[in-house]
Structure 1
């Protein structure tokens, strides 16, 4: 049960083993006793009963709320956790809320595990809706960010304005973006894309591993570790999902002493050939890299191999 003082400070009281009816009775008795022992206008107000309830940290809690003894159906009430926050993608809040409700209603952690694993597999298989995986962060204006700030809304705005300065969002407008696969070691800020870019460019794929391990599982872990459950172990139990679109597809690997940045730029510029005409891509890369390679120490070799490394990029 929760009570509050005139300064709007809430206090939770744990009543082990009490029913809803007993909690309301004890709560009213506590409020009356505390009010009677203090001079006016000090008054302790009994607010509501949570049954069940999870207290995560200060100002972060969730539970089924009853505001009166006659209330039959509880209200899902959450404060400070990802189900009510707007800084994540919708998939995070939906999966977390459904997982908590399953725990409250069934008291069976195995059902929660099955649900979470199904949702993770759905994201990894590419069956999740892009709308559920889209972030939307507020744009504060170009002059409101410190120099060198790595903010997705600012980064996308810069890219759009480089194409057309009239595309700058209004201050306070939310800029949608998603995260795609990229080369290992590439900063996350370089992997953000507008949803329309992903729809128009078949080579871009949503970074399912990032969404599962960095967005979906951490909020679940913070919640369920309170009852001794390791949510990340559920993810480790999932069968490894291949990100390969065609398991017989040959990919390109270049072993070269040419500068890595130069190679990546060439590979990026000609990435649209990777699925349509690999032989043509090899010819292009040989010509472009060969033009910059002179002497024995700058030779290069292009071969066809199967590599998950480049699949994650393309």
Structure 2
């Protein structure tokens, strides 16, 4: 992990730790889905508190299987990112920006505005598809139509 990104146990007493403390990683960042946050929190608990590395590996395998077999509710896969400027002012194509433009074409009155957080999921698509092309409003996407961001599995 890089600068300002860590996880560890906070100890103020000799007999037991006070809490699992994380900074700057997926468990505390707002731009990751609940599935990723919860999975990473589960791994950290197993590794740091229980000292069970093999158990953490099995836990991750189980979570991935749940995801790939459609047993994860879509609400756990929603990512949100802030729209910091007008869509036309972005130099690169990002998932939340493309979705904001798509929502504006669908219904301008309810489209995200500058300063809003844009919720989205990544739909299953062709393996050559760009992630920003697969972003969709969670209310338009059905369960089972998504994969983990950053993977090519199921695309």
Category of TM-score, reference length = shorter chain: 0.7 to 0.9
Q: Are 1:161 and 2:104 an aligned pair?
A: yes
Task: Please state whether the residue corresponding to 1:104 is helix, strand or coil.
Answer: helix
Q: How does 1:133-282 map to 2 (within 5 A)?
A: 133-142=77-86, 145-147=89-91, 149-199=92-142, 205-206=145-146, 208=147, 211=148, 214=150
> Separation in 2 of the partners of 1:184 and 1:99?
28
- Equivalence for 1:261: none
CA 1:182–1:143: 2 relative to 1, 3 Å: closer
- Equivalence for 2:9: 64
CA 1:189–1:76: 2 relative to 1, 3 Å: same
**Unpaired segments of 5 or more residues in structure 1?**
1-55, 216-240, 244-311
> Separation in 2 of the partners of 1:178 and 1:112?
26
My pick for the range that moved more, 159-168 or 98-107, is 159-168
> Separation in 1 of the partners of 2:22 and 2:79?
21
Once the two structures are TM-superposed, the CA of residue 72 in structure 1 deviates from its matched residue by 4.7
> Separation in 1 of the partners of 2:136 and 2:64?
22
Once the two structures are TM-superposed, the CA of residue 118 in structure 1 deviates from its matched residue by 0.7
> Separation in 2 of the partners of 1:183 and 1:82?
27
Aligned length: 154
> Separation in 2 of the partners of 1:120 and 1:176?
22
Task: Please state whether the residue corresponding to 1:136 is helix, strand or coil.
Answer: strand
Match of 2:64 among 120, 129, 144: 120
What TM-score do you get using the length of structure 2 for normalisation? 0.85
* Greater RCO, 1 or 2 (C-alpha within 8 Å, sep 6+): 2
Asked whether the equivalents of residues 32 and 79 of structure 2 are also in contact (C-alpha less than 8 Å), the reply is yes
User: After superposition, what is the alpha-carbon deviation per residue over 1:194-241, rounded to whole angstroms, capped at 9, x for unaligned?
Assistant: 111113xx8x811x3xx17x27xxxxxxxxxxxxxxxxxxxxxxxxx9
- Of structures 1 and 2, the larger Rg is shown by 1
**Unpaired segments of 5 or more residues in structure 2?**
none
Once the two structures are TM-superposed, the CA of residue 155 in structure 1 deviates from its matched residue by 1.1
- Equivalence for 1:98: 42
RMSD between aligned alpha carbons? 2.6
Once the two structures are TM-superposed, the CA of residue 123 in structure 1 deviates from its matched residue by 0.3
CA 1:73–1:107: 2 relative to 1, 3 Å: closer
Task: Please state whether the residue corresponding to 1:184 is helix, strand or coil.
Answer: coil
